[in-house]
């Protein structure tokens, strides 16, 4: 009898809070992927707390606080 393949394929998705603010990424089994997940590359470099997922535009938009923070750096 051959060995069973027990490798679980993981996929990177955005970890969003209740306001759709990016909180990092998480890896979930590909079999658990749903339409509500937002796919991101495993090397995603978005600033945590700095971007909000816009469901209508299907993109991350910078938050006002993040924009203000970047402008104050001068």
Residues 25, 15: Cα–Cα separation, whole Å = 5
Q: How many CA atoms lie within 13 A of 4 on its CB side?
A: 2
| Residue 37 burial (10 A CB sphere; 0-12, 13-18, 19+) | middle
Q: How confident is the model at residue 8 (pLDDT cuts 50, 70, 90)?
A: confident
Taking the model in full, what pTM does it have? 0.83
Give pLDDT, residue 7: 81
Residues 64, 47: Cα–Cα separation, whole Å = 13
Q: How confident is the model at residue 55 (pLDDT cuts 50, 70, 90)?
A: very high
């Amino acid at each position: 009898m051959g060995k069973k393949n027990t490798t679980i394929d993981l996929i990177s998705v955005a970890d969003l809070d209740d306001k759709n603010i990016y909180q990092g990424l998480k890896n979930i089994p590909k079999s658990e992927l749903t339409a509500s997940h937002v796919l991101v590359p495993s090397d995603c470099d978005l600033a945590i707390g700095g971007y909000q997922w816009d469901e209508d535009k299907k993109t991350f938009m910078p938050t006002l606080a993040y924009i203000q923070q970047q402008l104050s750096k001068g």
